[in-house]
Structure 1
Amino acid sequence: MPTVYARTLRRAAEIVGGVEKLGSQLGVHSEDLVYWLQGTKAVPQEIFLRAVDIVVAHDVSTISGRHPNVQNAELKKPD
């Protein structure tokens, strides 16, 4: 059974249009994403949280009837 990390990455990849696009958006190599999706390597917390942001932005926009802006869904650093 895939971990919550792998499931979240998989869902984020579905939302943005694939593993390569997700890797590009997250600034990581597709090879690393494949390892994380398979559970071979641990997902870095920052990458996981950015994937969560993509999924949440998509789900909120779906519920509210707006189109998601997943390209800009990223962690905001406190001022």
Structure 2
Amino acid sequence: MEVKIGVQHAPREIVLESDLSAEELEAVVAAALSGQSPLLSLTDNKGRKVLVPSDRLSYVDLGEPSTRKVGFGAL
């Protein structure tokens, strides 16, 4: 699943691909925003870990990656 994270005072968003489901990602983000965790910690498909301070989160966008269409179809 594609995850986009907006960080306050940062010109670009963080984009990563995660193996977690939408429900699991929502639970992790909710825990960070509720103050249970001082950091939003996510690991992408390649094993890289992203840590964002919870108080600096602007938004988190959870969405499916766009798939490329292959072949010829009717327009």
Using structure 1 for the length normalisation, give the TM-score.
0.29
Is the helix fraction higher in 1 or 2? 1
Is the strand fraction higher in 1 or 2? 2
Using structure 2 for the length normalisation, give the TM-score.
0.30
Of structures 1 and 2, the one scoring higher in RCO (CA 8 A, sep 6+) is: 2
Name which one, 1 or 2, has greater alpha-carbon Rg.
Answer: 2
